[in-house]
Amino acid sequence: MSLLTFKLLSAAAILAIAVIGGLIPLYAARHENSRRFFSLGNAFAGGLFLGVGFIHLLPEGIEKLEGVTDYPLAALLAAIGLVGLLLIDRVVYGEHHDTGHSEDGEQNCIYPYVLLVLLSVHSVIAGISLGIESHFTGLAIILLGILCHKGSAAFALMISVLRAGIEQRRHRPILAVFVSMTPLGVLIGMGAAMTLHESETVTTIIEGSFNALAAGTFIYVAIIDIIDAELSRRNVRVAKFVMSVLAGEDDQPMPTRDHDRVFKFALVILGIGLMALLVEWAHAH
């Protein structure tokens, strides 16, 4: 099998696993008790994002940038990514975040779109690294790493989309954009491999910088948005319910005793553990 054929088949496999991972939440939403499913799925996604940030993105950023300077640049960029999203979420977007709705009454949450951009850019970079690789062994390792993360990333993204209440007609376009990013990156990398040979250092710095920035944003979303919401205290949920009723909205459920708190915590740990195992598996192979 030629390198070109292997790369094209790899792009098709990545596309398929991402589509499957993204469609699972969309189809589950059609069934009864979907609210509980998404609450549990959201906790699992929070664990995945924590794992991606701490175990996958940040270590890769540190590894790629450690030869550039003795200063802990990757850690600084991760902090900048976290603070940058804090600025957008709680300062620039703060008033809308409090109500969860825009002025025209349509629910409007920024998180899914921020995640879409971050995941898409990371996917393109990962695809480029696969497309530019010139050895079968390297291709197999990169492909395994991408396959380990693509399906779970698509699942977590679509959980975020559904939880934000984004209208249904936008669900599949958002998923389509995300799943196409890695194959697009593969094509870009294949084209770059034919024209560029001396820019490996610049590519490494760019990829390392983005990985570190993305790590901070993933950690922020996991802790502040997802885990805090799913494991919030009952008095906080009561306050949100009262505000929702006073505003004439019905997106907040009547607060009841959360019997899934331990289960949600276990799912967060499971998400972190899964990412740890996937990263270790990818490195081992």
What pLDDT digit, counting tens, does each position of 244-271 carry?
Answer: 555 555 555 555 666 788 888 999 999 8
What pLDDT is attached to residue 100?
A: 43
Q: Which residue has the higher pLDDT, 175 or 67?
A: 175
What pLDDT is attached to residue 102?
A: 42
Are 82 and 217 in contact, with CB atoms under 8 Å apart? yes
Stretch 206-213: mean pLDDT: 79
Q: Which residue has the higher pLDDT, 162 or 83?
A: 83
Residue 89, pLDDT > 90, answer no
Residues 274, 211: Cα–Cα separation, whole Å: 19
Question: Domain total for the chain?
Answer: 1
CA angle, 17 as apex, 29 and 134 as ends, to 5°? 155
Q: Which residue has the higher pLDDT, 17 or 233?
A: 17
What pLDDT is attached to residue 266?
A: 93
The dihedral built from the CA positions of residue 42, 35, 95 and 246, taken in this order, carries a sign that is negative
What pLDDT is attached to residue 76?
A: 95
Are 122 and 211 in contact, with CB atoms under 8 Å apart? yes
> With bands split at pLDDT 50, 70 and 90, how would you rate the model's confidence at 168?
confident
Alpha helices in 105-260 (DSSP H): 111-132, 136-163, 171-195, 200-220, 228-230, 234-246
Q: Please give the residue range of the domain that contains residue 8.
A: 3-284
